Structure 1
Amino acid sequence: MTLAVAIDSKMLEVTVWTRGVTLAKEARDTATLLAKAGKTEGKHVQSFDNYVDLPDRIGVPVKSYARISPEPIETFYEYENYRPDVVVLAEETLVKGNDILKGAKPGCVVVINTARKPETLLKWILPKENLKNVKAVACINANVLGAGVMLTFDGTEGAGDDTKIGAGVGAAIAGAVAKATGCVKLDSLVSIAENKTAVKQGYDTVTVLPL
């Protein structure tokens, strides 16, 4: 099932939660892949890490962002997504104890990298009062799709990332986001990602629970 999350001509905001250093590359790749895919489709895009969270501390929750819009992006120098349309968790334990739905817009879609079913994770999602704004929860077991996790210090603390984009589990997660939300086309992601098979597998195997 694919859910269209874009509202009219408004900018789509994607927030990717991850853990500092150990999974930073995968979250950054997820956001970068979605943004670059949007750009190939003629959209205006941004992707960046959260400078409030940096420097990356090992295991500490941090975030990466993407913005996709059919019109020029006015919030060019705003380095956080305060009103996300899509919330992505690069690792399942982030669902506990973190206000992942803070500021979530009505129609928000949550995508979680997990082997669990969406129904089993609903009770952990915070803040509870914002759950009414969630259109769907999607789960993808990206860790078993053969992509692996890329460990690198590139891209941390505002530095450039010289490593290949979408070689690890972030490729599968991006594919799952594309399927669950319809924010970009599968072909656009495949044309950019290093691990094209992982993108397709993420797209094909994601489980989407409409709420």
Structure 2
Amino acid sequence: MTLAVAIDAQMREVTVWTRGVTLAKEARDVATLMAKAGGREGLYVQSFDNYVDLPDRINVPCKSYARLSSAPIETFYEYENHHPNVVVLTEETLVKGHDILQGCKPGTVVVINTARDPKSLLKYLSPKENLSHVKAIATIDANAMGMGVMLTFDGTEGAGDDTKIGAGVGAAIAGAVAKATGYAKLESLVAVAENKEAVKLGWEKVNVLPL
């Protein structure tokens, strides 16, 4: 038990909120890109969709996950991140009416795909008692930086991607996540993403508000 706790303490959990079917591909790309980039840097990694939420339904909130660790991941068959270090929203309306901070660890970074100023979104973060755990909130207008490519209707349930990883908006979001958290190097993300320019723009243009 002591060993498992020590190992899990080194694991960084990334939870990506999205909307079923319409944005499922983009969320999956964010999680996959972070994991692949971490793998290139010698970390133990995982990325997967939330089996609790599947099957996806159009616009229903659901999640994708990534885990990165310097040690073997003990919770290998646990298909939810219960204590995220990073919370990502693939579109801004998810900030309302959802407990996106549930279980978040001290030092959590929130990254939201929006053109809005991060200060304007603080009042919507919930549950409020976990707001003190948030180290920073970051925003990125990934819809503009994904070169207009929205890879919708590429379902997750029983299907494989027919497009390459990080060809659209998810690439810009991943770039923003990596910059805001320091969880991956820019060159690692660029190496694994199809839309390399979007990754670079997400990295360069992310707006980070320390709290």
Do they superpose with TM above 0.5? Answer: yes
Partner in structure 1 of residue 3 of structure 2: none
Partner in structure 2 of residue 93 of structure 1: 93
Cα distance in 1, alignment partners of residues 184 and 84 from structure 2: 16
Deviation for aligned residue 1:153: 2.9
Cα distance in 1, alignment partners of residues 192 and 154 from structure 2: 22
Aligned length: 203
Cα distance in 1, alignment partners of residues 205 and 116 from structure 2: 13
Q: Is the CA contact 1:139–1:208 (under 8 Å) kept in the aligned structure 2?
A: yes
Distance 1:184 1:123, change over 3 A: same
What 5-or-longer segments of structure 1 have no aligned partner? 1-7
1:62 aligns with 2:66: no
Cα distance in 1, alignment partners of residues 162 and 40 from structure 2: 21
Give 1:49-198 correspondences, 5 Å limit.
49-145=49-145, 146-154=147-155, 156-198=156-198
Deviation for aligned residue 1:157: 1.6
The two structures have a TM-score, normalised by structure 1, of 0.94
Deviation for aligned residue 1:160: 2.9
Q: Is the CA contact 1:32–1:66 (under 8 Å) kept in the aligned structure 2?
A: yes
Cα distance in 1, alignment partners of residues 51 and 42 from structure 2: 27
Letter of the 1:126 counterpart: S
1:207 aligns with 2:207: yes
Partner in structure 2 of residue 22 of structure 1: 22
What 5-or-longer segments of structure 2 have no aligned partner? 1-7
CA RMSD of aligned residues (A): 1.2
Partner of 1:157, secondary structure, is coil
Partner in structure 2 of residue 10 of structure 1: 10
Deviation for aligned residue 1:163: 2.0
Cα distance in 2, alignment partners of residues 71 and 147 from structure 1: 38
Deviation for aligned residue 1:77: 0.2
Cα distance in 2, alignment partners of residues 195 and 58 from structure 1: 25
**Deviating runs (4+, > 3 A) in structure 1?**
none
Cα distance in 2, alignment partners of residues 153 and 204 from structure 1: 28
Q: Is the CA contact 1:147–1:198 (under 8 Å) kept in the aligned structure 2?
A: no
Deviation for aligned residue 1:9: 6.7
Deviation for aligned residue 1:148: 2.0
Letter of the 1:197 counterpart: E
Distance 1:70 1:9, change over 3 A: farther
C-alpha offsets along residues 125-153 of structure 1, whole Å, 9 cap, x if unaligned?
A: 11010000000000000011115210233
Letter of the 2:170 counterpart: G
The two structures have a TM-score, normalised by structure 2, of 0.94
Letter of the 1:163 counterpart: T
Partner of 2:63, secondary structure, is strand
Deviation for aligned residue 1:78: 0.1
Letter of the 2:151 counterpart: M
Letter of the 2:173 counterpart: I
Partner of 2:120, secondary structure, is helix
